[in-house]
Structure 1
C-alpha cells in the first residue's frame, strides 16, 4: 500500500508530514478535508489526544540556515521552480534514491510547483487541487504542536510569526529592488518630467521676451532663437538696458555671447525705443530670468540622468534610436519587457493609434510611422523611402529590445545595436541610390588589461563598379541587335502605312467637297433659269 505525504513550506524550513493509514486514501481525504482533524493532535471532549499511530506525523524537517537561504527558497517557490535544496529534501525524505523506491503520494499546495515535482520525480504521484487548501489550513493551525511532538523543539507561534514577518519583508525588498518594472518606471517618470520641463521652459522664455521687450525690444531681434542666452543677457544687464555701456557688464556679456553681438547690444541700447521700468518690475523680470536659467540647468541634469539610466537598462535600443526616443518607446509600451513582447508592426505604429483607427474607420491609407518618425534615420530619408526605412527600423528595434530585456550582459549583445545601426545606414543608402558606406574592422587600440586589441569600426570609401568587366554572350548580343532592327523596321512600316492612309482620307475628303460645290452651283443655276423662264 502506498503512503501519503504532505509537503508543507514554512518560514523556518521545509516540512514533510506523513498521513496515518486511516487517511492514506488521498481521494477520499480531499473529498472530505475536515476528516483530517481526527488525526491531528487535538484533544477530544474527554481531554484525550488521539493515539500516535492514528495521527499525522512529521517525517522530515529541514530548517533554513540563514535568511538569505530562506529568501532564495521562497523566491523559487513563488515562481513555481524546484530548487536544489527542495529537490534533495524530497529525494532523501521519500527514499527515492534507492534501487526500488517505495510507491508514495505527495500532496502539494501550489499547482505550478506540483507540475515541476512531477516532471522531476515520475515515480511519485503528485496531487494538487482546490481541496488541498483546506488540508493545508488545518495543518497550519496545529503546526507548532506537530513540530514540538516530532522534533522536540520549542518553536512557538510567536517565533514562527516573527520569522514569517521578516521573510515577507525580505521578499518585498527583493522584488522592489530587482523588479524591471520599477526601473522602467523611473525612465517613464523622467521622460514625462523632461517633456513638462520643455513646455514650461518655452512658456517662461516667451513670457520673458515679451515682458523685457517693453523695456528693450531690440534685444529680441538680436537674439532671436536663443532662450537660455536671452535670459543670461537679461541677468547680466541687471534688467536695465542702460547698463550695457558699463565696462564690467560688457565683460560679463563677453562670456555669454560674441564680441560682435555685444557691440550690437550696446549700439541698440543707446537708441532703444523701449519704456522705462519701475524697480519692482525690474526685480520680477530678474526673478523670471533666474527661474529660466535654473530650469535649464535642471533640464540638462535630468537629460544626463536619463542617458545613464537608459545606457544601463537598454544599451542597444539607446544606441539605435537615441536616448529620448528610446525613453518614449519604453514609456508608451509600459516597460522594457512589454516593449520586447510587441511585434515590429505594432512598434512601428506606437504613438499613431488615433490616426490608425481613424484611417481604418474612414477606409483611407494607414500611417507608416508613429514615434519612430523622430528617429534620425527616418529624418534623413527622403519622402518615398521614409515608410520603408521606418519598417526596417521597427524590426531592428524589436530585436534589440528583446536582447536588452532577456539577453545576457556581455560584449556581444551590447555591440548588437551598433551593428544594426550600420546595417540600417547602408540600407538607407541603398534605397536612395547613394553610394553605400563600407565598414571594416580595424585592430587599432589595444586593451591593457588582457593584452587583446580592441576592435573598432572605421569608415572607408566604397569601391567603384567596373562596367568593363561585364560579359555578354555573342549569340544573345546578335539576337538583341536583330530584335532592335526588326523593331525599327516595323516602326518605319507602320509610319508609312499611316501616312498613306492619311493622304487617301484627305483626297477623298477633297473630292467630296468638290462634288458638293459643283452640285450646289448646278442647283443655283437651275433655280435661276426657272425664274427667268417664268418672268
Structure 2
C-alpha cells in the first residue's frame, strides 16, 4: 500500500513496509509503530517526494486541496510515480473527498479508513526523520510562510483598498460619540452642583469643557478673560450668572477631578475630529463615487454593515435601500404589515431634504444609483491595476487624483436631484404619480340580436284599446251619479 502525504514543503509518497500496520484492528495501537525514528523507518519508507517551487506554488496546491480538487502538481506527481510504476497498488489518502476525486480521475484504488488516517498522522510526526535533506527548522519555516499566505488569501486583506481600516474607523466613531455623550453629561452634572447656570448658557461640549478648565471656581469669572472661548455677549452672561449662581461650594480636590474629566472630554473631541478627517480621506481613496453620493460616514456604515466594499457591491438596490432596518423588516413580515422604506439611507442628505411623503420614493431612487456607484468603486479595472502595481505603498501614494475623483456619481446625483425636484413639483401641482398612465376607455361589446325585431305599430292599437276601456269605466261611474241626483230631486 502507498500513502499520500501532503506537507508544506511538497507531496510525499510512502510505501508501507510492515504489513502488521494494515492488520491492526484498533487504530490507537498504531502509535507504537511511530514511537521513534528507527521504528518509523522500519514501518514505512519514502518512495517519492515532489517539492514545491515557492510559497505561491504551495498556496495554489493547498487551495486546490481545500476544495478537494486534484491540482496540477499532484496530477503530475501521481502520473509519474504511481500510474507509470505501480498502477495496481492501493493509495491511502487523508481526505475522503480528495480520494473520490483521484479515483474518478485516474481509476486508482483509493483507501480511506481510520487505520490509514492514523498511519498518515504517524508519518507526519516523524516527517523530519523520514525525509532526507529536510530539517525540522526548515519544515517549520515553510509551514509558517504557507500559513501566512493562506491567511492573507482567506482574509482577502488589501492594504490599498483599506476596507478593514474604514470599517474599524466608523465603528470607533460611533463608540466615541456614545462615550462623549456620557462623559459630557457627567461633566455637566458634576460641575452643575457648583455652577448649574453654565450648562444652559454654553451648550457645546468642547467649549463647555474648556470653559470649566479655564474658570475653575465660579468666583474666578471676574478675573478670567473668556473672550478667546466665548463671544462677548455670552461671556458677559456667564459672568453675570456666576455672581447670582445658586450652586454649592466645592473643594480643591473636587475641582481637580472635574478638570481631569473636562480634559478627557476635550481630548476625545479632538481625537474624534481627527478620526473623522482620517475616515474622509480613506473613503475618498477607496470609494469616491459612494462618498460623493451619501457622504463618508453613511458610506462607511453601509460598508461596515455589509462587511466590505466588495460585499456591498454584490447587494441589489432593494437590499441597499433597507440596510440597517432588518429588525423592522422582519417584524413587518411577521405581522404582515408595511415593510420599511429606508434604513441607513434615511440619514443621507438627499433623503433628508425630501418632503415626508417623498422620502420613500427618493430612497428607492438613491439606492438604485448607489448600487451602480458601489460596483464601479469595487470592480473598476483601473483601480485594481493601480492597486496591484502599487504593492505595499501607503494609501496616499496609491490613490492617484484620477482614481480618487468620482466618475458616475456626478451624473447619478444629478439624476436623483432632478427626480426630487420633479416629484416636488408634481406634488405641489396636485398630480398623483409621474409614472401614471392615461386611463383607457371602457370596452363595451356590441351585441347582435338574432331574434325578430320589435313591431312598433302594435303599440298604437294597444293604446286605443286602453283608452276605450278607460272611457267605458268613466261612463259607468257617471250613471250611478245621475241616479243619485234624480232621487234627491224627487
**Normalising TM by the smaller chain, what interval?**
0.5 to 0.7
2:187 to 208, 229, 239: 208
Aligned residue runs from structure 1 range 65-144, under 5 A: 65=53, 70-71=58-59, 73-75=61-63, 77-78=65-66, 125=106, 131=112, 135=116, 138=119, 141=122
Matched, 1:169 2:126: no
TM-score under structure 2 length normalisation: 0.60
**Structure 1 stretch 339-348 or stretch 310-319: which is displaced more?**
310-319
Q: Deviations over 1:189-220 (max 9, x none)?
A: 54444323212212222333344344444433
Aligned residue runs from structure 1 range 41-440, under 5 A: 60-65=48-53, 70-71=58-59, 73-75=61-63, 77-78=65-66, 125=106, 131=112, 135=116, 138=119, 141=122, 154=132, 159=135, 162-177=137-152, 179-180=154-155, 188-224=167-203, 226-237=204-215, 239-246=216-223, 249-250=224-225, 253-270=226-243, 272=245, 274-307=247-280, 310=283, 316-336=289-309, 338-401=311-374, 408=381, 409-410=383-384, 418-420=407-409, 422-433=411-422
SS in 2 for 1:61: strand
CA contact (8 A) 1:17 1:57 kept: yes
Distance 1:147 1:269 in 2: 81
- Residue 39 of structure 2 corresponds to none
Structure 1 pair 380–410 and aligned structure 2 pair: CA distance change class (3 A): farther
Q: Deviation of residue 386 (structure 1)? A: 1.7
CA contact (8 A) 1:320 1:417 kept: no
- Residue 471 of structure 2 corresponds to none
- Residue 9 of structure 1 corresponds to 6
Distance 1:66 1:320 in 2: 45
- If asked which structure has higher relative contact order (CA below 8 Å, sep 6+), I would say 2
Q: Deviation of residue 229 (structure 1)? A: 0.9
Structure 1 pair 362–417 and aligned structure 2 pair: CA distance change class (3 A): farther
Structure 1 pair 231–144 and aligned structure 2 pair: CA distance change class (3 A): closer
Structure 2 unaligned segments of length 5 or more: list them. 26-31, 34-42, 388-402, 426-490
Q: Deviation of residue 231 (structure 1)? A: 0.9
Distance 1:259 1:410 in 2: 55
Q: Deviations over 1:297-334 (max 9, x none)?
A: 23234434544555566555444433322333344334
Distance 1:434 1:16 in 2: 73
Q: How many residue pairs align between the two structures?
A: 388
CA contact (8 A) 1:228 1:296 kept: yes
Q: Deviation of residue 423 (structure 1)? A: 0.9
CA contact (8 A) 1:5 1:106 kept: yes
CA contact (8 A) 2:3 2:16 kept: yes
Alpha carbon RMSD of aligned pairs, Å?
A: 5.0
Distance 1:258 1:204 in 2: 25
Distance 1:130 1:400 in 2: 52
SS in 2 for 1:14: strand
